[in-house]
Amino acid sequence: MTESFDADWLELREPADARARSIALALALSRALPARPRLLDLGAGTGSLFRWLAPILNRPQAWTLVDADVTLIEFAFDTIADRAVSVGFEVSAPNKRTLLVHTPSGAWRVDGLVRDLADAPDGLPLDRADAVACTALCDLVSRPWVARMAGALRLPFYSALNVVGSARFLPPHPADGTVARGFERDQGRDKGFAGRALGAGATRAMAAAFRTEGFVVRTAPSPWRIGASETRMLTQLASGHASAALARAPRARRAIQGWATARTAQARRGTLRAIVGHADLLALPPARAR
C-alpha cells in the first residue's frame, strides 16, 4: 500500500501549495490542451489541484480524481462543492460518483476513481484523458515508476510541488543540519512504490525519463514561503521534519527533540518562518509542445 496523508494536513497545506505553484507552467499546460480537456489527477487527495487549476483552464473540463483513499475522494467532493457554492457557482450531482460545477465558462465535471498507484500507469484510464497531473506525488515514487509512466504516456504530464531538498527554518538553530540530514534520509525510504523514493531527485529523474521518450520538458521553482503568522502550518511542518529525522537518526534524539521544542515555541511566538524548496515540471509530447 502506498503512503497516504490525512485530510487535515492536506487542507492545512493548500494555501501554501496555491501560492507556490508556477503559473507559467500551468498556462503552458492549458495551451497544450484541447477546448474541453480531460485531466487525470493522480494522488488527488482533497482535490486542491482541481481547485487551483480549474479556474486557470477556465473552460469546460472533466477531471478524474484518483486516490487510494476513498475517504479523501469523498472529502474532495464535499470541499469542491462547498467552495463552488461559496463563490456563487451552482453544483449538481447526477450520480454518487460525479459532481458538476456550473460556471460562467462552462461545466466542470469531477469524477472519483479509487486506485492504489503503486502499479501505475497500469489500471489508469489513459485512453480517456488529455493530460496526467499530480501534486506532491513524484518525490514519493521510485525511478522504475517514473520510467513506466514516461514510457506509457503520449499525453502532457504535469507534476507540481516536488521537493528539491532545501528546507530552511528561520532564524537558524544549531541542530538544523542534524534535522535536515535525518529528514533527507527519510525522504529516500520506500513509500510503497516498489523502490527507493526519489525525494529531492524527483524533478531531475522525471526530466531525464521524459526527455528520453522525446518529450519537451520545462521546470520551474515553486518554493513554499511560510510566514510567521501561519502558526499551525509552521508547527506541523517542524513536527513532521523532527519526526522523520528522529526515525532515521535515533542517536541524535536529544538534539532533534530540542530543535522541535525550540521551533514550536518560536512558531507560537510568531518568530519562526520557513522556506521549503519545490519544483514544478511539465512534460509535453513533441506534437503538443509550443
Domain range summary for the chain, segments of one domain joined by +: 7-164+193-227+274-284
| Element holding 41 (H helix, E strand) | strand 38-42
Per-chain mean pLDDT for the chain: 95
Question: Mean per-residue pLDDT for 62-84?
Answer: 96
Residue length of the chain? 290
Which fold would CATH assign to domain 7-164+193-227+274-284?
Rossmann fold (3.40.50)
Helix-helix angle 48-57:7-20, to 10 degrees = 30
d(CA 127, CA 133): 15
pLDDT band at residue 109 under the 50/70/90 scheme: very high
| Element holding 39 (H helix, E strand) | strand 38-42
pLDDT band at residue 166 under the 50/70/90 scheme: confident
Cα end-to-end distance, the chain, whole Å = 38
pLDDT band at residue 226 under the 50/70/90 scheme: very high
SS3 of residue 104 by DSSP: coil
What beta strand segments (E) does 157-196 contain?
157-170
Question: Mean per-residue pLDDT for 186-212?
Answer: 95
DSSP label of 202: H
Cell numbers 518554493: residue: 223
Torsion, Cα 9 10 16 17, to 10 degrees, reads 150
Question: Mean per-residue pLDDT for 218-240?
Answer: 97
To the question of pTM greater than 0.85 for the whole model, the response is yes
* CA quadruple 156, 5, 243, 249: dihedral sign: negative
For residue 2, the model assigns a pLDDT of: 58
For residue 240, the model assigns a pLDDT of: 95
Question: Mean per-residue pLDDT for 27-39?
Answer: 98
d(CA 115, CA 3): 13
